[in-house]
Structure 1
Amino acid sequence: MSSSITEPSAGSPSFFSKQATIAGPGFSRWMVPPAALAVHLCIGQAYAFSVFNGPLTKVIGITQSAPDDWSLTTLGWIFSLAIVFLGLSAAFAGKWLEHAGPRRTMFTAACCFGGGFLVSAVGVWLHQIVLLYLGYGVIGGIGLGLGYVSPVSTLIRWFPDRRGMATGMAIMGFGGGAMIAAPLSVALMSHFKSATSVGVAQTFVVLGIAYFISMSIGALAIRVPAPDWKPAGWTPPDTSHKMITRNHVHIDEALKTRQFYLIWLVLFLNVTAGIGILGQASVMIQESFKNTVTPAAAAGFVGLLSLFNMGGRFVWASASDWVGRKNIYFVFFVLGAVLYYLVPSFAAAGNIALFVLAYCVILSMYGGGFSTVPAYLADMFGTAFVGGIHGRLLTAWSAAGVAGPVLVNYIRAYEVAHGVAKADAYTMTVHIMAVLLVIGFICNLLVTRVDEKHHMTEAQLAKEL
């Protein structure tokens, strides 16, 4: 296996340097996934930020919103900024994180994410929304991006024999972080709530410190494999007939290949088809089965979708180790398009069970798309710069985060405004989603091996790393 790590330089390397994290003899690679999860379970809190929206609208009024309290539309920009800066930091810090190494990158992520909560706490105390935008949105968003990418690229290097499973483990943590953060945040706000406080500022302080500690532990525990390391008893397979390269493509050179943009579209279309539904799941099932599904049952539906979103990240990515990354995406697009096409008929027939099952499978493939794509990139471009390339590809997530909800919300509003019953207002939307997945199928079909002219020589690789 080609190494992506150079030999340590003479002298004692800095504690946070890449060279200082090279694992010694006898180090178990199974110590790396917990280090990655220590980061991803923390930054996965982003999916649970909505639990703060209600209390933040009552910071002044305490029991109900006062005239000077923030509105939900004003607060909505906090999460949007965090996702935007997640994509931007992952994209623009790509080169730096490959040279800095995982320990420095993950510790920087800990400082930004934890520090973002502390800045936001000050913003709540002073009632300055700009500090929440800066704290959680900008600084915290940068922590999200750095913390998301670096552990994944490290796991890929430790598990050349199980790339999909390795990335699935970490990114499953990101999907499941909200399941810990939501009840924890609610419990903390309840504990700190008083006659003069809704408890959000104090909760931000506790979470900021806790997440900083957890992510720092992950950063300190992370290790990278020694030069030419490979799993015991593992022989690199013959890749002459597969789309798995043993060569490496520079991060800047990857942007000159059509494969990068095709995989960008593959991720964008897969995420667009899922993220809009995820945001409207509760309302959608209640409107599709009016007077049948209660708000409590709808909340259970949302929780079930979250479980499938999380589980799909591990199951589908692990399966890709056996059937191949390209083939897994074929399954996503074909099965997803069929299910989206059938969902309106399930609703029209009043078949709640098939309706729920269809969306659970769709959301599992939504999660699986996130966890499979890093291994897809490693297969295509090699492992030397996969973290940076993955970071730049995550701009597809940012774009889909806008496109998906816009499609679902605005098309539904247009349909209702033109006399379509609310129960039928999602039909056009899900059929459009099916078409998007067909386009994704075509993009995935066009992905081929990267031309040899883009590969780095051993001398170029040694110079860069």
Structure 2
Amino acid sequence: MDIATKGVGRIASGAGLLDRERIVAGPGFNRWLVPPAALCIHLCIGMAYGFSVFWLPLSRALGVKQSVACPDLTLASALFTTSCDWRIADLGWMFTLFFVVLGVSAALWGGWLERVGPRKAGVVSALCWCGGLLISAVGVYTHQLWLMLLGSGVIGGVGLGLGYISPVSTLIKWFPDRRGMATGMAIMGFGGGAMIGAPLANILMNHFKTETSVGVWQTFTAMGVIYAVFMLAGAFGYRIPPAGWRPDGWTPPPAVAKAMITTRSVHLRDAHRTPQFWLIWAVLCLNVSAGIGVIGMASPMLQEIFGGALIGQPSVSFLDLTAEQKTLVATIAAGFAGLLSLFNIGGRFFWASLSDRLGRKATYFTFFALGIVLYAAAPWAAHIGSKALFVLIFGVILSMYGGGFATVPAYLADIFGTQFVGAIHGRLLTAWSTAGIIGPVVVNYIREFQIAAGVPRSQVYDYTMYVLAGLLVLGLIANVLVRPLADRWFMSEAEVAALQAKSGAHATGGSFGIGRGGLTGPALLAWAFVGIPLLWGVWVTLSGALVLFR
């Protein structure tokens, strides 16, 4: 063992259990243990995507079998009422809060995360997300909407932000040879969280419901406990490599003039002052705006476009369907939404891994160029009545939506270096918060305008698709403008060394037996811990999606 490694050991022995110095890896540690730790957290917080499974039961929380409606109810009065059931529109504010608070908290505390390390951030994330679920359970039990919004929306939203970015810089530093693949593995979990959480929530609600309860507060409590176990296991599984560590046999690519991958680092205080930061911010925002608009309207879009064709009656429009037929159509549309979630998840790993070969800029060019063609072609696929082609088009679109999330951390590391990439990524996630407003507003308002103008339901989304294609044109331009940073933005070697000395992650200058090993016994167990629930979610989703093709 070298002097630097001994120094790390001495620091770690006197550090607190959650301190960054305590989690610097020593000889014999297998880097393949880190992605499952990240997945433990992302699979739990990813349930934010599946929270809509609670809306219908919560809309009859008082009436149980039928909603207790109050015609004069407003959002302000809904926050405190104990005699009226909540409207779905009021409950939907939690979904908005999730992603607004996620972006804001990631931006505010990204720098703190870099200082304290991923373990402490992961523990705080678990306390916020799971604690928020418990507070929401109290809110349902006492029928106080404001308490639910505070618990899961605000406090849980902070947990989302910290949990989402906690593994980013860690994984990039463990896998400098495969940055895209590493972040793709973790961020894949955020997309997969709803695949596990939504059916689990349905099972629990059916188990807990009674003649006097819809079973939601009990489900929140149970899921809060289950998620706490997984998230804390993930947080305590995190390790960081000593500064300067690199995998055996791997050397950084040679510095080439105008190369898109830097070997230096930009300080957090300077990153947002560069045009490159805001260009990549626009790239992410525009890619997500287009995709999130489709996700929010996937089910009604399929129903209104194809109507009776989904149940073998192509001559019957959506408005002419009977109540029973609409129920069947809604079931098929739910399968469509589930299938899109699979493309979303698979795209996160596929595109991020492919970006290691193509380069991040070329990968985003593919997202935008191919996306423009697909959005423009979607109305044509609908008009010729091809369900298979329509589903395939939106499957590819959603794969690139997920791929954009998974590829952007590696894009940032390429441009700004790895020293502050987690914190820079946190600030960039304000683009997600912005897109969460832009995308649904564009889709919903254009749809309403088209309906008011008398456009048939099967055609109300045509103009929307062309507008979303226009957003991608702007994203394509922003991506083309991204260039390597000028030398003046990078920190000196002395500054980097001083920062690393403060963290206790002293340089090793080589591998020294750290990070070696593939899927050994412990690594296989760690992957099984997260892989079995994920495979169960995939199976449930595929089973529901098969209805679409019957």
Counterpart of 2:269 in structure 1 is: 252
Counterpart of 2:352 in structure 1 is: 317
Alignment of 1:174-213 (within 5 A): 174-213=190-229
Give CA-to-partner distance per residue, 1:352-381, whole Å, 9 cap, x none: 221111111011000000000000000000
Counterpart of 2:510 in structure 1 is: none
Work out whether 1:297 is the aligned partner of 2:319. Answer: no
- Match 1:272 to one of 281, 285, 289: 289
Alignment of 1:51-450 (within 5 A): 51-67=53-69, 68-241=84-257, 242-293=259-310, 294-450=329-485
SS in 2 for 1:82: helix
Bigger Cα displacement from structure 2, 286-295 vs 365-374: 286-295
**Alignment-mate amino acid for residue 129 of structure 2:** F
Bigger Cα displacement from structure 2, 371-380 vs 75-84: 75-84
Once residues 264 and 414 of structure 2 are traced to their aligned partners in structure 1, the CA distance between those partners, rounded to angstroms, is 9
SS in 2 for 1:60: coil
Q: CA deviation at 1:458?
A: 2.0
Q: CA deviation at 1:8?
A: 7.1
Counterpart of 2:37 in structure 1 is: 35
**Alignment-mate amino acid for residue 191 of structure 1:** H
Once residues 307 and 204 of structure 2 are traced to their aligned partners in structure 1, the CA distance between those partners, rounded to angstroms, is 35
Q: CA deviation at 1:71?
A: 1.2
Bigger Cα displacement from structure 2, 420-429 vs 16-25: 420-429
Q: CA deviation at 1:7?
A: 5.4
SS in 2 for 1:291: helix
**Alignment-mate amino acid for residue 162 of structure 2:** L
> Does the Cα contact within 8 Å between 1:308 and 1:363 map onto a contact in 2?
yes
> Does the Cα contact within 8 Å between 1:7 and 1:227 map onto a contact in 2?
no
Give CA-to-partner distance per residue, 1:77-102, whole Å, 9 cap, x none: 11211211111110000110000101
Note the residue ranges of structure 2 that are not aligned, 5 or more in a row.
70-83, 311-328, 501-550
Once residues 17 and 243 of structure 2 are traced to their aligned partners in structure 1, the CA distance between those partners, rounded to angstroms, is 19
Q: CA deviation at 1:459?
A: 2.2
Bigger Cα displacement from structure 2, 177-186 vs 67-76: 67-76
Work out whether 1:453 is the aligned partner of 2:488. Answer: yes
Q: CA deviation at 1:464?
A: 3.6
Once residues 102 and 64 of structure 1 are traced to their aligned partners in structure 2, the CA distance between those partners, rounded to angstroms, is 45
Q: Max radius of gyration: which structure? A: 2
**Alignment-mate amino acid for residue 436 of structure 1:** L
**Alignment-mate amino acid for residue 147 of structure 2:** L
Counterpart of 2:323 in structure 1 is: none
Q: CA deviation at 1:315?
A: 0.1
Q: CA deviation at 1:63?
A: 1.1
- Match 2:21 to one of 10, 19, 22: 19
Once residues 71 and 415 of structure 1 are traced to their aligned partners in structure 2, the CA distance between those partners, rounded to angstroms, is 25
Once residues 295 and 120 of structure 1 are traced to their aligned partners in structure 2, the CA distance between those partners, rounded to angstroms, is 29
Once residues 291 and 400 of structure 1 are traced to their aligned partners in structure 2, the CA distance between those partners, rounded to angstroms, is 33
> Does the Cα contact within 8 Å between 2:171 and 2:183 map onto a contact in 1?
yes
**Alignment-mate amino acid for residue 121 of structure 2:** T
Once residues 433 and 239 of structure 1 are traced to their aligned partners in structure 2, the CA distance between those partners, rounded to angstroms, is 38
Q: CA deviation at 1:70?
A: 1.2
Once residues 339 and 436 of structure 1 are traced to their aligned partners in structure 2, the CA distance between those partners, rounded to angstroms, is 13
Once residues 16 and 307 of structure 2 are traced to their aligned partners in structure 1, the CA distance between those partners, rounded to angstroms, is 62
Once residues 144 and 8 of structure 1 are traced to their aligned partners in structure 2, the CA distance between those partners, rounded to angstroms, is 32
SS in 1 for 2:309: coil
Q: CA deviation at 1:60?
A: 1.1
Once residues 333 and 224 of structure 2 are traced to their aligned partners in structure 1, the CA distance between those partners, rounded to angstroms, is 31
Q: CA deviation at 1:443?
A: 0.5
Work out whether 1:49 is the aligned partner of 2:65. Answer: no
Please report the TM-score for the alignment, with normalisation by the length of structure 2: 0.82
SS in 2 for 1:34: helix
**Alignment-mate amino acid for residue 252 of structure 1:** R
SS in 2 for 1:63: coil
Once residues 465 and 484 of structure 2 are traced to their aligned partners in structure 1, the CA distance between those partners, rounded to angstroms, is 33
Bigger Cα displacement from structure 2, 254-263 vs 68-77: 68-77
Give CA-to-partner distance per residue, 1:211-245, whole Å, 9 cap, x none: 11110011111100022211111111124152000
Give CA-to-partner distance per residue, 1:317-344, whole Å, 9 cap, x none: 0000001000000000000001111111
Please report the TM-score for the alignment, with normalisation by the length of structure 1: 0.97
> Does the Cα contact within 8 Å between 2:39 and 2:186 map onto a contact in 1?
yes
Note the residue ranges of structure 1 that are not aligned, 5 or more in a row.
none
Identity of aligned residues (%): 57
Once residues 113 and 59 of structure 1 are traced to their aligned partners in structure 2, the CA distance between those partners, rounded to angstroms, is 23
Give CA-to-partner distance per residue, 1:36-88, whole Å, 9 cap, x none: 00000000110110111111111111111114111112111112112111111
Q: CA deviation at 1:462?
A: 3.2
Once residues 58 and 394 of structure 2 are traced to their aligned partners in structure 1, the CA distance between those partners, rounded to angstroms, is 31
Once residues 381 and 317 of structure 1 are traced to their aligned partners in structure 2, the CA distance between those partners, rounded to angstroms, is 18
Bigger Cα displacement from structure 2, 24-33 vs 74-83: 74-83
Once residues 284 and 79 of structure 1 are traced to their aligned partners in structure 2, the CA distance between those partners, rounded to angstroms, is 20
- Answer 1 or 2: higher relative contact order, Cα 8 Å, separation at least 6: 2
Bigger Cα displacement from structure 2, 34-43 vs 77-86: 77-86
Once residues 291 and 445 of structure 1 are traced to their aligned partners in structure 2, the CA distance between those partners, rounded to angstroms, is 43
Bigger Cα displacement from structure 2, 201-210 vs 235-244: 235-244
Give CA-to-partner distance per residue, 1:175-227, whole Å, 9 cap, x none: 00101001100111111111221111111111111111110011111100022
Once residues 102 and 384 of structure 1 are traced to their aligned partners in structure 2, the CA distance between those partners, rounded to angstroms, is 14
> Does the Cα contact within 8 Å between 1:286 and 1:292 map onto a contact in 2?
no
Once residues 325 and 454 of structure 1 are traced to their aligned partners in structure 2, the CA distance between those partners, rounded to angstroms, is 21
Q: CA deviation at 1:251?
A: 1.0
Bigger Cα displacement from structure 2, 155-164 vs 433-442: 433-442
> Does the Cα contact within 8 Å between 1:282 and 1:298 map onto a contact in 2?
yes
**Alignment-mate amino acid for residue 98 of structure 1:** E
